[in-house]
Amino acid sequence: MKKYGTIGILVLIVIAILLYISQEKDSPIKPLTDKQSNAHVYTLKVYQDRFARNNYHLEKALESINKLKEWDYTVSITEEASTTLKILHHRSIVHLEEIIKSVKSYEEYPNLSERKILEEAIERLEKIDNEILGDSLSSEDVYEAFDFTLNALAKAEVKLSESALKSNQNELAKLSLKQAQIHVKNAFLLDYSNRSNRTKHFDLEVEVFNEIDSLIKSDSISVREMDKRLSKISNELDILMQDMKKRI
């Protein structure tokens, strides 16, 4: 009887631990305490500065890509125009690569799988660079490479948000989501002109944008639900990039 009594006590202890863990996961995300906030304030400031620089590079890259989209690659162009085209293209590549390098340098960078995606994005951008040097570039190639890169950056930011959430850095988690949202928004804006040819791809980008927007605006959400929704968004971004791989 004493043996069964001991087993019963152990079972009750295990149940109590499981219930506690369950309650912790389902509890709303609480604001950081003053002590926690002070501990994370420097890290948050570093990321805020990086995000500001990344937004600058993104703005410059998009300026160049929008000018590139105005060119008709099917007609012959003068040598002077060709030089201008190459400069615009190279400028857009440089700015996007700066963002990728910045994201890869984050101290809380999630894991190697996202690093691999970003390295693949760089390879695609360099491929486009080689095409323009060989005068074999098409506007579609430019679009595909940029769309893939923007969604790859969004994926990395979502994973960074997950990592920040797990370390109780809620401000950083939302900041990362805002950056991811910017990348997705610019991806579907680039996609807008081709919407009739790829409705599902465009619609999924819009859906991801709205899902991220909903999370950013959420004042109270459980850790478990937040993690579940971030996972869903991450998987949807994977689908978008897989779709781009089929086209490139």
CA torsion through residues 12, 17, 20, 21, sign: negative
Q: pTM of the prediction? A: 0.77
Query: How confident is the model over 47-83, as pLDDT tens digits?
Result: 888 889 988 998 888 888 777 767 665 566 677 777 7
**Residue 112: other Cβ atoms inside 10 A:** 9
Token pair belonging to 10: 């152990």
Q: How many angstroms separate the CA atoms of 173 and 181, rounded?
A: 12
Question: For position 24, what pLDDT does the model report?
Answer: 43
pLDDT at 190: 77
Q: What is the pLDDT at residue 105?
A: 76
pLDDT higher at 109 or 207: 207
Burial zone of 30 (CB within 10 Å; 0-12 exposed, 13-18 middle, 19+ buried):
exposed
Indicate whether 161 pLDDT > 80: yes
Here the tokens at position 218 are 């959420």
- Per-residue pLDDT at 100: 87
Chain centre distance of CA 63: 20
Q: How far apart are CA 68 and CA 153, in angstroms?
A: 21
Q: List phi, psi (to 5°) of 167.
A: -100, 15
Tens-digit pLDDT profile for residues 24-43: 444 444 554 555 566 567 77
Higher pLDDT, 82 or 174: 174
Residues 6+ apart with CB under 8 A from 221: 28, 29, 215
Sign of CA dihedral 165, 61, 123, 150: positive
Where is pLDDT greater, at 114 or 216?
216
Chain center to CA of 144: 17
What dihedral do alpha carbons 195, 174, 235, 204 form, nearest 10°? -20
**What is the percent of the chain where pLDDT is above 70?**
70
Q: State mean pLDDT over 226-236.
A: 91
Label residue 22 by pLDDT band (50, 70, 90).
very low
